[in-house]
A and B are shown apart, each in its own frame.
Chain A
Amino acid sequence: MLTYIVRRLLIIVPMAIGISFLVYLALDLSPGDAVSRMLSPERTVDPAKLAELRKALGLDAPLLVRFWIWFSGVLQGNFGRTLTGGVPISRILMERLPATLELSVIALVLSSIFGAILGTISALRRRGTTTDNVLTVAGMIGVSIPEFFFGLVAIVVFALNLQWLPVGGRLLPSYTSYWDHIPNLVMPALVLSIMMTAGVMRYARSAMLDALSREFIKTARSKGLPEWRVNLLHGFRVALTPVIVLIGFRLPILIGGSVIVEQVFQWPGLGSLFVMAVRNKDLPVVMTIALLTVILVLVVSLIVDILTAIIDPRVRLGN
């Protein structure tokens, strides 16, 4: 297994470079550049001055040169500066990453725990029972309702009507300690968690039903093992494998993907930054977030493989 892990870790480097280059290439091929996005369409600007700005920002250099300048900077720990405002990207990451991580990690943990438990309960109660029906309908509603709608309803109920929680934002001038903003975190984290729980629950239910229909479950039962042992140690353990894959790959997506929840709750995370950077064609910002996501996906992929091998004895790494 160790050889496998080392080999996979070594593969991450060229894969990250390759994927980064492809992302850079794709972005570069889209029309316009950061300078053209800085301009209002309703205003014409002296083309000579725009050419000077492009030159000053290094946008006039060939694609490979620009990519190398960015990538060599990253190798030295320098992510560069935003093209639009000249802000060091490392500073933006320091400001935004904590906001994203606290939202993502809470949502991931809560949705994984509750999703796996509820999905398993739903499967064990068998089709047609009230519990299964209620959980199935709840799951369908959870995956069907758009996040923005769910978020807005939560704001109307808990912030505007009941006034239990703040309407949005993460920080206020009056906050002096880290814990002050926890009330701000509750709604976005719960909305994101509930939406994600529904997905995990549906997946866990299917995986559990599939596992329970396998021959080894019948064998376990025929050995006279207690039902809870059959279900949890044999069924749930195997059912967990696809659920882990789902959960594992949600973290990297969450890093740049909780855009809607961030928007609705005015949460200053990486998702909204990423969308804005794409719109502004601010390549250093887009590339930095993309690189982080790529590395995270590759690392998570490795972790998922290892966990799968540990949980499911049928899986052998490296073979």
Chain B
Amino acid sequence: MNRFLATAAVALLLQTSALGVAHAQALNGNPLSDVRVRQALAYAIDRQLIVDAVFGGYAIAADGLLPNGPFKSPNLNAYPYDPEKAKALLAEAGWDSSRQLEMVFYYDDQITADLMAVLQAQLAEVGVDMTYHLIVGDVAKTLNSIPEDPKGKSVVTWDLAYGARAAMAMQEYFNDYVTGKASADGFPGASELDELIAASNSSTDPDANKATLMKIDEYLNTNVLTIPLYYQQLYSVESKRLNRNGEPHGNDQFNYDWNIQNWTVEPDANGKAVMYTNAAPIDYFEQPWVNLGLWAGNKLIWAHMLSAKPFLDGVAGGDLAESYVMSDDGKTLTMTLRDGIKWHDGDPITVDDVTFSLEFALKTPNLHGVVASTLNSIEGAAEYVAGTAEHVAGISADGNTITIKFAKVNANVLLSFTQWGPFPKKYFEGVDPTLVQQAEFWQKPIGSGPFMVEEAKFGDFSSFVPFADYYEGKPKIDQVIAWASADGDVNMVKNAAANRIDFAITKVVSDIEAIKALDFMQLTPLDIPYTRMMWINQYDK
């Protein structure tokens, strides 16, 4: 009944005629608050040229924030490259050509520098003078600071900002546009958009939210609140020694049902099946609740409560939980743990580990946003975090079953539990959750996934070996050797050329081109939700 009412409310909301109306005038002292100026910027940018010239064709020109696929609205204006139209719109808006726009960005790579130069030239062609610079220091603060009063003066100097959204849940594209939310979107807010965003978060059924999400994308598109530039593909880099044995490719930026335990690799001269990869930690293993799909140091070691479909478009089934039940009103989740599941040290994984970890996670400072939103929706979470309750009221356990009651419906409950798994309680008792990452545990974590840490020579490599008691069976690969590297491994191609990479992922154009030239390697493009965009600061200046 509640789902029916929610759907009906959304349907009514979507029929509201006022939605999507763009006000053709500046709303404050900032000319970027005039939709005509923003539309002009959108028409001035040749996205296809950028894709072809800057990204070598390894990207897709974007017309909306949501990626191509089931959530894509058919009603988006692509703002095809039209400098004459851009000039006309600017003239109509009374654009002051002596005004200079300040663009900021936070990627310090050459391709971003090239992109900035192209954008500068394209905007100059329609009479918009733009300068750009890399943000250093407190990047998040520079990007995300907003005035207390949405009608107040902007507290940042930038006019345009280049950034990205690598979304796990589609709502992530839009939740930041809520009035008063400190974020980089630069939009002071609108009640009609707030209502749509709230509606898009009102059901745990992705299909029920789809129409609303499309409508939000249309709203942003009509009003040019943000200019989507391109969708970036992720590439799976694999050697021909590696055989996934039919197991699926998916969104490797997150966790999915990839069944690495079934992968095989050709044995070496000693008959040992060693898979070489990268992204091993440099000084310590990252705790897995932040960068959820962090390769090697995270995905190999940790299992999760549930398991996601390859492109996170639903739940594939249980992971540590054998079964789960979501109540019809979307406010109670029951998960039953499998029998006989173990930590890498041989101890059983218990309900106590799960309930402890849920409470522990609530007090950690740096949880992934979607997971944080889910956990904070649990009944009594706020009181527990504030210190007024000893435990979270909404979490209970009975035998092997954990019941979680939510104070409000959270759209991504199931998705969150496909990415979140417990820590072994005994290693974290007495650890301050605020300093979770600083715990000694992360020098050699005891996990629950298919591989366990054998040795970590930080800065050099980490070695992982199969976990014999993994509930889905002992992995067939004898050893995984991962070379230490930071995000965006600059040595990946070199290692691949020397037969030292069997699996890696990349989005770097030059890497993709170089790997293509190696006949013993193969590339698989993966369409993931990853949109690069240009935020527009519309606050008063």
Given A41-B140, A41-B143, A276-B282, A160-B498 contact (CB < 8 Å): yes
Is A102 in the interface zone, CB < 8 Å from B? no
CB <8 Å contact, B283 and A84 = yes
Is B484 in the interface zone, CB < 8 Å from A? yes
Most chain A beta-carbon neighbours within 10 Å: one of B182, B283, B284, B500: B283
Residues from chain B with Cβ under 8 Å of A169 in the complex: 460-461, 483
Is A81 in the interface zone, CB < 8 Å from B? yes
| Residues of B115-134 contacting chain A, CB below 8 A | none
Is A31 in the interface zone, CB < 8 Å from B? yes
Q: Which of A7-15, A46-54, A121-129, A194-202 binds B?
A: A46-54
Question: How many whole Å from B469's CB to the nearest CB in chain A?
Answer: 23
CB <8 Å contact, A32 and B139 = yes
Question: How many whole Å from A187's CB to the nearest CB in chain B?
Answer: 12
Given A42-B166, A171-B461, A31-B483 contact (CB < 8 Å): no
> How many A-B pairs with Cβ below 8 Å?
134
C-alpha gap A30/B182 in the complex (Å): 23
Most chain A beta-carbon neighbours within 10 Å: one of B140, B184, B498: B140
Residues from chain A with Cβ under 8 Å of B494 in the complex: 155, 167-168
Residues from chain A with Cβ under 8 Å of B139 in the complex: 32, 36, 41
CB <8 Å contact, A53 and B434 = yes
CB <8 Å contact, A44 and B140 = yes
Is B403 in the interface zone, CB < 8 Å from A? no
Chain B 498-509, CB-CB to A under 8 Å as 1, else 0, gives 101000000000
Question: How many whole Å from B328's CB to the nearest CB in chain A?
Answer: 31
| Residues of A101-139 contacting chain B, CB below 8 A | none
Residues from chain B with Cβ under 8 Å of A84 in the complex: 283-284, 437
Is B396 in the interface zone, CB < 8 Å from A? no
Is B71 in the interface zone, CB < 8 Å from A? no
CB <8 Å contact, B458 and A173 = no
C-alpha gap A168/B166 in the complex (Å): 32
CB <8 Å contact, A87 and B284 = yes
Is B527 in the interface zone, CB < 8 Å from A? no
Is A186 in the interface zone, CB < 8 Å from B? no
Contact partner, A42, options B165, B438, B440, Cβ 8 Å: B165
Residues from chain B with Cβ under 8 Å of A52 in the complex: 365, 434
Most chain B beta-carbon neighbours within 10 Å: one of A33, A173, A263: A173
Is B491 in the interface zone, CB < 8 Å from A? yes
Is A234 in the interface zone, CB < 8 Å from B? no
Residues from chain B with Cβ under 8 Å of A171 in the complex: 457, 460-461
Residue tally, chain A, CB below 8 Å to B:
48
C-alpha gap A86/B434 in the complex (Å): 12
Given A86-B284, A86-B435, A173-B463, A36-B141 contact (CB < 8 Å): yes
CB <8 Å contact, A96 and B459 = yes
CB <8 Å contact, A39 and B137 = no
C-alpha gap A99/B457 in the complex (Å): 12
Residue tally, chain B, CB below 8 Å to A:
57
Is A26 in the interface zone, CB < 8 Å from B? no
Residues from chain B with Cβ under 8 Å of A96 in the complex: 459
Residues from chain A with Cβ under 8 Å of B182 in the complex: 44
Question: How many whole Å from A286's CB to the nearest CB in chain B?
Answer: 14
Is B112 in the interface zone, CB < 8 Å from A? no
Is A62 in the interface zone, CB < 8 Å from B? no
CB <8 Å contact, A85 and B457 = no
Residues from chain B with Cβ under 8 Å of A36 in the complex: 137-141
CB <8 Å contact, A44 and B437 = no
Residues from chain A with Cβ under 8 Å of B468 in the complex: none
Is B293 in the interface zone, CB < 8 Å from A? no
Question: How many whole Å from A281's CB to the nearest CB in chain B?
Answer: 9
C-alpha gap A92/B369 in the complex (Å): 32
Residues from chain A with Cβ under 8 Å of B458 in the complex: 92, 95, 268
| Residues of A246-278 contacting chain B, CB below 8 A | 263, 266, 268, 272-273, 276
Question: How many whole Å from B349's CB to the nearest CB in chain A?
Answer: 25
Question: How many whole Å from A130's CB to the nearest CB in chain B?
Answer: 38
Residues from chain A with Cβ under 8 Å of B260 in the complex: none
C-alpha gap A81/B437 in the complex (Å): 12
Chain B 459-490, CB-CB to A under 8 Å as 1, else 0, gives 11101000000000000000101011010001
Chain A 266-300, CB-CB to B under 8 Å as 1, else 0, gives 10100011001000000000000000000000000
C-alpha gap A181/B163 in the complex (Å): 42
Question: In this complex, what residue of A is CB-closest to B368?
Answer: A43
Chain A 73-90, CB-CB to B under 8 Å as 1, else 0, gives 000000001111111000
22 residue pairs from A and B, CB less than 8 Å apart:
A32-B137, A39-B140, A41-B106, A41-B135, A41-B140, A44-B176, A44-B181, A45-B140, A49-B434, A52-B365, A53-B434, A56-B434, A81-B438, A83-B438, A86-B440, A95-B459, A172-B481, A173-B479, A173-B481, A266-B483, A268-B459, A268-B484
A45-B366, A82-B283, A173-B463 are known; give 14 further A-B pairs, CB within 8 A.
Answer: A39-B366, A41-B140, A42-B165, A45-B365, A53-B366, A57-B438, A86-B284, A87-B283, A92-B283, A96-B459, A166-B498, A167-B497, A169-B460, A273-B283
Q: Which residues of A contact B (CB under 8 A)?
A: 30-33, 36, 38-46, 49-50, 52-53, 56-57, 81-87, 92, 95-96, 99, 155, 159-160, 166-173, 263, 266, 268, 272-273, 276
8 closest A-B pairs by CB: A86-B438, A31-B137, A268-B459, A32-B138, A85-B284, A167-B498, A32-B137, A49-B365
Q: Which residues of B contact A (CB under 8 A)?
A: 106, 135-141, 143-144, 163-166, 176, 181-184, 282-284, 364-366, 368-369, 372, 432, 434-435, 437-440, 442-443, 454-455, 457-461, 463, 479, 481, 483-484, 486, 490-491, 494-495, 497-498, 500
